[in-house]
Amino acid sequence: MLENAQVVPSLPVVDLARAVKFYQEKLGLKVLQQDKPEDAWSGAVVEGAGGSRIYLYKRGATKADHTVLSFGVKDFDATFKSLKDKGVKFEEYDMPGLKTVKGVAIMAHMKSAWFKDSEGNILGLSNMMV
């Protein structure tokens, strides 16, 4: 039934303009549509590779303590460095089964890292999904 449907994650943001700026300038995503930030139900759609999209919508502060979406990349090291050079701060974790060193976790043949967007949503970066 939904096997041909595009999946678009929806992320809450407190400040739509700030969030759009982060996704556009820090992550390099293209803004496809953006409502006026002052509108009560404003939102924006940003696009990544292959037509993948994220819907950002304005609402009050929320608290998610898990990864809400991940970016799968072919060249993890280059992407990680590029994001760091743009001021993205990567999280450090030390828990059973997962430890980062300088922001990177290596698990078998996979590298992963996590960072927060301008609104506190946890985003992942990995070479596992490519």
Q: Which range among 4-8, 28-32, 35-39, 108-112 has the greatest average pLDDT?
A: 28-32
* 11 touches 57 (CB < 8 A): yes
- Interatomic CA distance for residues 122 and 60, integer angstroms: 17
For the cut 90, the answer to whether the pLDDT of residue 7 exceeds it is no
**Which two three-digit tokens encode residue 129?**
């999904």
- pLDDT for 43-62, tens place per residue? 999 999 988 999 999 988 88
Backbone angles phi, psi at 44, to 5 degrees: -150, 150
- Interatomic CA distance for residues 82 and 94, integer angstroms: 24
Backbone angles phi, psi at 22, to 5 degrees: -60, -50
Across the chain, what does the average pLDDT equal? 92
- Interatomic CA distance for residues 95 and 43, integer angstroms: 35
For the cut 90, the answer to whether the pLDDT of residue 1 exceeds it is no
For the cut 60, the answer to whether the pLDDT of residue 130 exceeds it is no
For the chain, give the number of residues. Answer: 130
What lies within 8 Å, CB to CB, of 8 at 6+ separation is: 45, 53, 54, 55
Residue 9 pLDDT level (bands cut at 50, 70, 90): very high
Give me the pLDDT at residue 129, please: 64
Q: What is the largest CA-CA distance in the chain?
A: 47
- Interatomic CA distance for residues 96 and 8, integer angstroms: 31
Q: Is this model's pTM higher than 0.85 or not?
A: yes
Superfamily for the 10-126 domain: 2,3-Dihydroxybiphenyl 1,2-Dioxygenase, domain 1 (3.10.180.10)
